[in-house]
Amino acid sequence: MDKLITAFLNIFQGINKRLLVDAILIGGLFFLIYLVYVSRTPTIVKQTTNDNEKIQKRIDSISEYNKSLTTQITSLEINQADLNNFISHNNELIQENNNQLIKLKQLYNAKINSIDSYNVNQLDSFFAKRYIQR
């Protein structure tokens, strides 16, 4: 150990004392900066970890909300398909009714047109059937 101290002193014998003091002060300053950085790093890491946990919780919450919306959209699409089928069926019924109305109009139009060729007895019979009180 004595040899180590002697070697250390021999190294610094040729150096100016003012330069040695400046070197020790600068080294001490760097050491203090290092200590502050090292002591602060766990706090930063802990804070970052807490922030990451909060962000992950928010991401999970948004993911659940997204799943809920996807389920609701699927349900609405199914309802929309059912309503479209219902509308198509009703449109077919309306078209059938319109076709039947056209046939009835043609039938009554033919009967009305045939009245011109009826004789008096046939006209009497026609109006009697139509306007007889029940």
Give the pLDDT confidence score for residue 45 in this predicted structure. 59
User: Which is higher by pLDDT, 105 or 132?
Assistant: 105
What pLDDT score does 22 carry? 75
Position 114 scores a pLDDT of: 76
Could you read off the pLDDT of 23-52 as tens digits, one per residue? 778 888 888 888 777 666 666 556 677 788
Given this model, what pLDDT does residue 116 score?
Answer: 76
pLDDT of residue 15: 63
What is the DSSP secondary structure assignment for residue 116, as one 8-state letter?
Answer: T
Element (H, E) at 68: helix 17-115
Q: How many domains would you assign to the chain?
A: 1
pLDDT digits (tens, 9 = 90+) for 47-88: 677 788 888 999 999 999 999 999 999 999 999 999 999 999
Query: Domain span at residue 122?
Result: 2-131
Confidence at 115, pLDDT banded by 50, 70, 90? confident
> 126: burial class by Cβ within 10 Å (0-12, 13-18, 19+)?
middle
What pLDDT was estimated at residue 16? 66
pLDDT of residue 82: 95
The CA angle 108-113-114, to the nearest 5 degrees, is 95
Burial of 132 (0-12, 13-18, 19+ CB in 10 A): exposed
pTM, to two decimals: 0.45
Q: What is the pLDDT of residue 42?
A: 62
The predicted structure's pLDDT at residue 36: 73
Q: What CA–CA distance (Å, rounded) separates 83 from 72? A: 16
